[in-house]
C-alpha cells in the first residue's frame, strides 16, 4: 500500500512532510477502575496510573506537539487510553493476570486517597502484601490480546 504524505508549511517557509496514513497499534493502554469510585476519584486515579506507563515504556510516548504558530507542547501517548470499570473482584483478578504476564503495570490502592505525597504513596503500597492490596485502579500496557485477557470480566467505562 502506498503511503500518502502531506506537506505543511513551517515558520520561515520550510516544509515538513507528514505521513497521513492512519496508525494502527498492536498494543493497548488500558486502565481498569473499581466501579464504586466517586467521579473525582476516577479522574484522579486514571491520571496517576497512566503517568507511570510512559516512564516504564517510553515507546508509548509520541512526538512533541506544535501549533501553527510554532508554539511547542509536550508529547503525549501515541495511542488512545481505554478506560474500563469492574467490581473489586474483577480488579483483583486482573491484577493477578497482569502479574502472571509480567506486563508493565501501575496500581492505585485505596490507601493512597489518605496520603498527600509521593513518598507516603510508595510507603502505603510497600506496607501491604500483594494479595492484600485494596486496589481501586490498575493500568497495563502490552500486546492487545494479552491486555484483553487481563481485562476479562471488565466493561468499558461509561
List pLDDT tens digits, range 95-113.
999 999 999 999 999 999 9
Q: Across the beta sheet with 105-109, what order do the strands follow?
A: 105-109, 135-143, 27-34, 81-86, 155-156
pLDDT for the residue 12: 47
Look at residue 4 and tell me whether its pLDDT is greater than 70.
no
**Res. 10 pLDDT band, cuts 50 70 90:** very low
- In this prediction, residue 156 carries a pLDDT of 86
Q: What is the pTM of this model?
A: 0.82
Would you call 50 exposed, middle or buried from its count of C-beta atoms within 10 A (0-12, 13-18, 19+)?
buried
pLDDT at residue number 96:
96
What pLDDT, on the 0 to 100 scale, is given for residue 18?
64
Amino acid at each position: 500500500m502506498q503511503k500518502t504524505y502531506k506537506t505543511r508549511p513551517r515558520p520561515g517557509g520550510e516544509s515538513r512532510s507528514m505521513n497521513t496514513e492512519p496508525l494502527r497499534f498492536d498494543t493497548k493502554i488500558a486502565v481498569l477502575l473499581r466501579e464504586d469510585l466517586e467521579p473525582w476519584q476516577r479522574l484522579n486515579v486514571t491520571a496517576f496510573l497512566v503517568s507511570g506507563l510512559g516512564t516504564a515504556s517510553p515507546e508509548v510516548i509520541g512526538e512533541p506537539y506544535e501549533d501553527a504558530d510554532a508554539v511547542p507542547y509536550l508529547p503525549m501517548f501515541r495511542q488512545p487510553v481505554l478506560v474500563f470499570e469492574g467490581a473489586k473482584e474483577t480488579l483483583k483478578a486482573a491484577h493477578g493476570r497482569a502479574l502472571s504476564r509480567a506486563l508493565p503495570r501501575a496500581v492505585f490502592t485505596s490507601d493512597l486517597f489518605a496520603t498527600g505525597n509521593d513518598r507516603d504513596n510508595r510507603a502505603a503500597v510497600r506496607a501491604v502484601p500483594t494479595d492484600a492490596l485494596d486496589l481501586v485502579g490498575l493500568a497495563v500496557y502490552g500486546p492487545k490480546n494479552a491486555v484483553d485477557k487481563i481485562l476479562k470480566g471488565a466493561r468499558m467505562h461509561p
